[in-house]
Amino acid sequence: CGLGSRDILRIEAGHSLYGHEIDEAINPYEAGLSWVVKLKKDFIGKSALVKIKEEGAEKKRIGFVLKERGMVRKNYPIYDEKEEKLIGWATSGTYSPNLDKFIGMGYLKKEYLDISLIKIKIREKFYEANLVKIPFVEVKVMRRYVYV
């Protein structure tokens, strides 16, 4: 129950989990984490990230809300509205008690980022979903400062 609850909160907040939304094959620009890249400093791989920033990422992390009941899991395929083209894949999904909806995250190829409706294949059936901004719910962070 504890890990399941943590995962629900993580997905609602739009946070990435290593092995799902982020891994060694996903760059920060694709994952929506460009704020962690400091291009003013020198580091291994800097030239590759500069090129991605200039040319744009090949895919982007997205959020979606299913139009009906359905549980999305890692690597479920995402198709266009006509169910003809494979345009991405899901990385995480859950039922959101705060929204009373089934939500998830995944990646879409850059040429499909302007669409609003996708279809996700769950056990040989297509489920409609709307693309939404991440985070799914407003997250308030309280920072604590400790002075020694």
Per-residue pLDDT of the chain in tens (148 residues, 90 and over written 9):
688 999 999 999 999 999 999 999 999 999 999 999 999 999 999 999 999 999 999 999 999 999 999 999 999 999 999 999 999 999 999 999 999 999 999 999 999 999 999 999 999 999 999 999 999 998 776 666 666 5
The residues, any chain, with a CB within 8 Å of residue 58's CB and separated by 6 or more, are: 30, 109, 110
Distance CA 75, CA 35 (A): 26
Q: Which of 2, 3, 9, 1 is nearest to 96 (CA)?
A: 9
Domains and CATH numbers, the chain: 2-132 (2.40.30.110)
